[in-house]
Structure 1
Amino acid sequence: MAAQPQHRSIPVDSSEVPGPVRQRSRQACLPCRRRKRKCDGKLPCNVCQGYGYDCAYDSTTQSTTTSTSLKRSRSENLAPLQLPKKTMRLTHSLGGPSKGSTDSSILPGVIEPSKPRYVGRYSCIAFPLYVGLEVQATNLPRLHSFAYHTGVRKEPPCAVSHKIAEKVPWNIARSLIEVFTAVIHPVFGFLDMDRICVLCEKHWHGQPQDMAFEALICGILGLASLFNDSLHQETETWTVLHAKEILDDDVISRYPTLETIAAWILRTIYVRSTGRPHVAWLCSCTLMHLVEAAGLHHAPEFIMQAMGNTNPNPETSEIINRTAQVANCVHVLIAFEYGRSIMTFNRQILGHNSTIPRGPGFTSQLCSLLATIPTNQATHDVDTLIQELLSALEKLANTNVDHDFLVLLRADLTLSIYRRLRVLDPSLQQGQNDRVIAAGTTALPAARRLASQNQPWWNVVGSVFQFACSLLVMDTPASCEKLSETMDTLEMIVDRFQTHLAKEALSTVRQLVRASLEKKRKGVEALERVVGASVPDTDNPARESQIMQDIASLSPSLAAQLPIDLEYLWNMNFEMPL
C-alpha cells in the first residue's frame, strides 16, 4: 500500500486570512521600529505598554539620519532588555559607562512593580525575562526565581500576627505618635506622618493594615517611648521585639516594601540608642541591603519596569528619596564611627542631596553632615587618605546645624576623623587640633540642654566622653584648658541619667585623667632632678615659686600647662558618686 503523502503545515500570514482586513499603521513608534515589531500606531502602542518601553514617535519622516542612527544602534548589539531612549540620554549625560563597563552603580536593573524587588539585569532572576524578550515571546516569563533550588521542602508560613492594637491602647499610641512627630521626625524626616496617623487610627479600629505597617508603627512607638517613658519598659521591649519578629519573618521580608525599609530604619536607630555597636552595624548593613533589593539606591530613570509603567507620583518620589538618603546616613554614621566597612553604592544616594527640600525639619542638615564623610576606605595611599580626611574636617567645620543632636553629631564625626588622623599621622598641626576642640566645645552646651530635657540621644554621653579622651591625648595648653568644662558637663549628665553606662564613662575618664596627672608629675620630678631641687614644700610659697621659675626656664610649654592642669586635677575628687 502506497504511503500517504505527508502534508507539511505552512504558516499563513494573518493578512491573508479571510475576514476583516487589518488596518496597517502609517507610522510605527521608535521602539517598535528599532525592534522591527508591528505597531498599532497608538500612544502608547500595545507593544510598548506590554513591555514597559518609553513609547515615542518621530515627528518627521524617516530620514537618512534616522536610518543611520538605527544602524548604529544595531551595530552596537544593544541587549533587548534596555533602558528607554530618555534614560539612555540621561545615562550618557551623567557620564554613564561605555560599552563593556560593569559598574553596578550605573548599569540599569529590573524591578517588578507588583513585588517591589530590584535585581541587576545580569541576574539569574532576570535572565528568563531577558530570553523571553530575545525570542519575542507572547507571554513573557515573570520576574521569578525559577529553579533556584530543588524544592524538596515547602517554605514555612508566616509566623506573626497583628498584636500591637491589643497590647497598647489607642490613646497611649496616639500620644506616642505625637512625641515621635515632635522629637524624632524633625531630624529623621522620611515618613509621611499625616498618612501614618490616618492608617494608625484604622489599624486600631477594626481595619488592620499589613504586617509591614505594624512593624513600622512598633518602631515609632518604641522610639517615642524611649524619649517619653509613656510605656512600661517591659511593654516597650515587647513592642521592639515584636517589630523585629515581623521584620525577620521570611514571608514578610520576601518583598522589601517601602514600609519594611522604614521599619528597619527605626529599628536601627533604636538599636544604636540602646544596644551594642556590632549589632547596630549589622542592622545598618541589613538596612542597606534592603535599600538595594528595593532599587532605592538607583534613581527611577535607572530602573526598567518588568511589566507595565507605574511611575510614582511626585509625593511618593519625595518619600522614596528621603527614605533612601536617611537609610544611607544612618549606615554611614554607624559604620564610620565604629570603624567598619561602608557599602560602596552609598555615595550615589548622597549625591542627590538636593532632592531633600529645605523645610522646617533638619533632615537636609543631617544629609549635609554625612555627605562630607569620605566613604572610600579601600585606598592604600596614606597621603591621599589623610588629605581626604583633612578636607572632610574642614567641610564639617563649615557645615551649619541648628539642632542640638546634630551639633553633637558634628562633633562625633569630627572626633572620628581626628582618631583616624591620629593613627595615620600623630604629628597633627595646631590648626587641625583647634577645629576638633572648637567642635567639641560647641557640643558641650548642646549635651547639657538635651540631658536637662531628658532626651537620651545616643551621643549625649558619648560625644562628651570622646571629647574628654581627645583632649587628654592632645596634651596641649588649649586642650587642658577645656578639660575642666568637659568634666563638669559629663558629671552633670551622669547625675541626670544615673545609668551604668554613664557612670562607667565618667569613671573611665577620671582614671585617664589620674594617669595623665601621674605622667606629668613624673616629668616634673625629672626636671627637678636636673636643677637639683628637692620635693616642693607646699607650705613655702616662695620655694614653690622658685621651682616654677626653674621649670619655666627649661620648658616654657610645660610651665604654661602646670597652673591650669595640675592645680585643677590635684584638687579633683576622683571618687565615684554613689
Structure 2
Amino acid sequence: MSGAYRPPDDKGSTLPSVPTRQRSRQACLPCRRRKRKCDGQLPCNICKGYDYECEYDETSQTIPQKRKNQPIQSSSQSKARPTNKVQSGDGSRQDAGASILPGVLEPSKARYVGRYSSIAFPLYVGLEVQATNLPRLHSFAYHTGIREEPPCAVQSEVTDHLSWNDARSLIDVYSTTIHPVFCFIDTDLFYKRCEDHWHGRSQGIVFEAMVCGTIALASLFKELIDHESEMWLILHAKKILEDSDISRFPSFEQLAAWILRTLYLRCTGRPHVTWIASCTIMHLVEAIGLHNAPESTIQTGGSDAPISETSYTMNRVAQVANCLHILIAFEYGRTILPINRRVLEHIDHTNRGTDLTPQLCRLVTTLPTNQHVGDTTLLSQDLFLALEKIAEIAIDHDFLVLLRTDLVLGIYRRLRVLDSKFQHGHYENIISAGLVALPAARRLVSKNEPWWNVVGAVFQFVCTLLVIDTPASCEALANTMDTLEFVVRNLDTHLAREALLTARQLVHASLHKKRKGIEMLERAVGTEAPEAAPSQTANQLAQDMASLSPLLAAQLPFDLDLLWNTDFQLPL
C-alpha cells in the first residue's frame, strides 16, 4: 500500500463533459441480436459491460479498429458547447455519454457510482441545463434528515496497547510469511509509515485498522504477543471498519484493512462470517471504482490524481480482493459476486522476487464462475477443462499447493453433484493433486505456519478418496490418514481433533460396508466360513475357470484394471 490518503483541493472541482457520440455506421452482432444501441467500437461498450464476445459481420466493408483511449474534455469545453444528444429507441432523449461511460468517480472521496444513480443524476442535470455551478456528487435528499449522524466512536489507541518493538517484529513476520502469497502492500513504505505512527506522526485512524490486521495475522504464525492482545487488535480494527462515520469514505487503506480482516477470519472464523467479509471487500472494490477501466469513468475532479497509488498497486489490490472472494465462495458453495473480472484478466507475470500472487491469480482464473443455468453439459465441460488446466500451473509455495488441492476437490464435488461421467484420467489428476499436498501440509505444520487449509485440504482429501473408491484411492488412503494424524498431533486443537475423529469414523464406516459386501459375495458362492484359506480359494478359482474356454483360462491371472475403460456391447 502506498502513502497516506490525501484529498485534493475541491476548489474548482467540476464534472467534465461527456465525449461526443457519433451514430454508429454498423452495429456488432451481439447488439443486433439483442436490439441494443451499439457505439461501433471494437469491443463496443455493451459487449464490454456484459462480457459478450464482440464481433462484426465479416462481409461488411468497414470493420472498426480496437478502441483507443479518448481524452475527456475539460469543464470549460463542456460549457462552450452543449452536450450532444442521441435519440433512443423508445423516443426518449439520452445523454450521449450515457451509453459510453459506465459511471462517475469522485476522486476526493474515492467514491464511485453508476451513471444511472440518483447520486449522479443532479450532475447530469447540471450539464443538461448548462449550470454555472455544477452540483457536487452528493446524496441530495437521500432521507428526511430528522436525525443527525453519529460521530466517530473510535480513537487511535494501538500505540498505547503495543510497543514499537513488538509491532516491528510482527511486521517482519508478516513480510516473510503472508506477504509473498497475498502481495498487495508496499511493505517498505508500510514499515516507514508504521514507524512514524508509533513516534507521534499519526497516519490516520483507517491506517491503524490496517496495522491491526497485519499484526494480528502475523501473531497467528509466530506468537510474539499474548492472545488477549491479539484479540484486542482484531476488535479494534473491527470497530474502525464498521464505524459509520469512517466507512462513509471508501479508500485503498480501508479496502486493504478489510482484506486483512477477511484473511484473519478465514484462518480463525466461521464460513458464513468469512464469506460476508469477502463480499464486503468486493463491494469496496466497486465503491472505489476498481472494477472498471480508468479510461471509461468520468472523474469529477479534473486531472489531479487524489490517490497516490500507482496503477500497478491499484490493480494488484483488486486482484487479491477478487481472488480471495472467489476462493471463499467457491469452497463454501456460496454465490460469487458478479463484479467485472477485468482485474483478473491482466495479471503481471513479471518476476518480482518472492511475489507469488500471480500464481494465486492463475489458480483462481482457471475456475469457471459462469453457472450455465439450465445447461449442465456446458458446466461439466468447463469444470473438466479447469481440472486439466489447474494441474499444469507451476507452484512455488506449500500453501498454494494446498490451495490447488482445495480447488481440485471443489471441482470434483461440483462434477459429482452434476452426475458427470468421470474418466480414469480424471481420477488420476484428483488423486495426484491430493498426494502432492500431503508433504506440503507436513512442512507447513513443522514450520509453525498454520494456514487455514493445513487440516482442511487433507481431511477433504480423505473424504474424496472414500467416495472415489478405486484401488488407487484405497492405496492412497493410508498415507493420507497418517498425514492427518501428524498434522492434528502437532496442532492439538479442538477443530483438528474433531476432523481426525470424523475421518476415522468415515473410514470405519467404509470398511464395514466393504465387509458386508464380502459377506454377501461369500454367501453367493456358498462359502459359509468367514475366511477361506488362500490355497483353497486359489484352487477353487482355478477349477471354476478351467471349465470355461481354454483361452481365458490360459490368461489367468489377469488384471481387472485393464477393463476400466473398456466399452462392452451386447449383441442384438
Shift of 1:210: 1.0
- Quick check: 1:96 aligned with 2:40? no
Matches within 5 A, 1:236-385: 236-311=230-305, 316-354=310-348, 357-360=350-353, 361-377=355-371, 379-385=373-379
Q: For the residues of structure 2 that align with 1:551 and 1:482, how far apart are their CA atoms?
A: 33
Identity, in percent, stands at 57
Aligned-residue offset at 1:541: 5.3
Shift of 1:53: 5.8
| Corresponding residue for residue 474 of structure 1 | 468
Distance 1:537 1:381, change over 3 A: closer
Checking the alignment, whether the CA contact within 8 Å between 1:181 and 1:193 is kept in structure 2 is yes
1:308 to 1:492, Cα distance in 2 relative to 1, 3 A: same
Matches within 5 A, 1:33-432: 50-52=14-16, 73=22, 92-97=41-46, 107-311=101-305, 316-354=310-348, 357-360=350-353, 361-377=355-371, 379-425=373-419, 427-432=421-426
TM-score by length of 1: 0.78
Q: Could you list the per-position Cα deviations for residues 452-495 of structure 1 after superposition, in whole angstroms to 9, with x for gaps in the alignment?
A: 11101000000000011000000000101111110111010011
Give me the whole-angstrom Cα distance separating, in 2, the residues matched to 1:119 and 1:238.
Answer: 35
For structure 2, the 5+ residue unaligned runs are: 1-11, 26-37, 48-85, 549-555, 562-572
SS at match of 2:134: coil
- SS of residue matched to 1:111: strand
Kept in 2, the 8 Å contact 1:110–1:121? The answer is yes
Q: Is the 8 A contact 1:551 1:559 kept in 2?
A: no
Question: Does the residue aligned with 1:110 lie in a helix, a strand or coil?
Answer: strand
Which residue identity lines up with residue 492 of structure 1 in the other structure?
F
Amino acid at match of 1:334: I
The runs of 5 or more residues in structure 1 that have no matched partner are: 1-47, 56-69, 77-88, 562-578
**Residues 107 and 307, structure 2, Cα contact 8 Å, conserved in 1:** no
- Cα 1:547–1:306 change in 2 (3 A) is farther
Is the contact between residue 329 and residue 367 of structure 1 (CA under 8 Å) also seen in structure 2?
Answer: yes
Does structure 1 retain, via aligned residues, the 8 Å contact 2:14–2:134?
no
Matched AA of 2:367: I
| 1:373–1:392 contact (8 Å) kept in structure 2 | yes
Q: Is the 8 A contact 2:372 2:378 kept in 1?
A: no
Match of 1:448 among 442, 447, 456: 442
For residues 533-560 of structure 1, the C-alpha deviation after alignment (integer angstroms, 9 at most, x for no partner) is: 123358x554566688899999x99998
CA distance in 1, matches of 2:495, 2:545: 41
Once residues 194 and 541 of structure 1 are traced to their aligned partners in structure 2, the CA distance between those partners, rounded to angstroms, is 70
The residue number in structure 1 matching 2:35 is none
How many residues were matched structurally? 483
The worse-fitting range, judged by mean Cα deviation, of 144-153 and 307-316 is 307-316
RMSD over aligned Cα atoms: 3.1
Structure showing greater relative contact order (alpha-carbon pairs closer than 8 Å, 6 or more residues apart): 2
Give the Cα–Cα distance (whole angstroms) in 1 for the partners of residues 318 and 557 of structure 2.
50
* Structure with greater proportional helix content: 1
SS at match of 1:73: coil
Determine the C-alpha separation between the residues in 2 that align with 1:459 and 1:523: 35
- Give deviations 1:259-295, integer Å, cap 9, x for gaps: 0000000000100110111111000011101111111
Q: Partners in 2 of 1:496 and 1:105 — Cα distance?
A: 59
Rounded to whole Å, the distance in 2 between the matches of 1:258 and 1:495 is 40
Other-structure match for 1:527: 521
- For 1:178 and 1:91, the matched residues in 2 are separated by 52
Residue aligning to 1:81: none
TM-fit CA distance, 1:357 = 3.8
Q: 8 Å contact 1:110–1:303 — kept in the other structure?
A: yes
Separation (CA, whole Å) in 2 of partners of 1:92 and 1:212: 41
SS at match of 1:304: strand
1:49 and 1:163, CA in 2 relative to 1: closer, same or farther beyond 3 A? closer
Q: TM-score, normalised by structure 2?
A: 0.79
8 Å CA contact 1:109, 1:304 repeated in 2: yes
Q: Counterpart of 2:42 in structure 1: which amino acid?
A: S
For residues 149 and 541 of structure 2, the distance between their equivalents in structure 1, rounded to whole angstroms, comes to 79
Alpha-carbon separation, structure 2, partners of 1:210 and 1:228: 27
Q: Distance in 2 between matches of 1:426 and 1:467?
A: 19
Distance in 2 of aligned mates of 1:442 and 1:52: 55
Closer, same or farther in 2 for the Cα pair 1:548/1:172, shift >3 Å? Answer: farther
Superposed displacement of residue 311, structure 1: 3.8
State the 1:73 CA deviation: 3.0
The Cα offsets for residues 36-85 of structure 1, whole Å up to 9 and x where unpaired, read as: xxxxxxxxxxxx99544699xxxxxxxxxxxxxx7x73899xxxxxxxxx
Take 1:188 and 1:254, find their aligned partners in 2: how far apart are those partners? 26
The DSSP-based 3-state class of the residue aligned with 2:341 is helix
Q: Where in structure 2 are the equivalents of 1:481-500 lying within 5 Å? A: 481-500=475-494
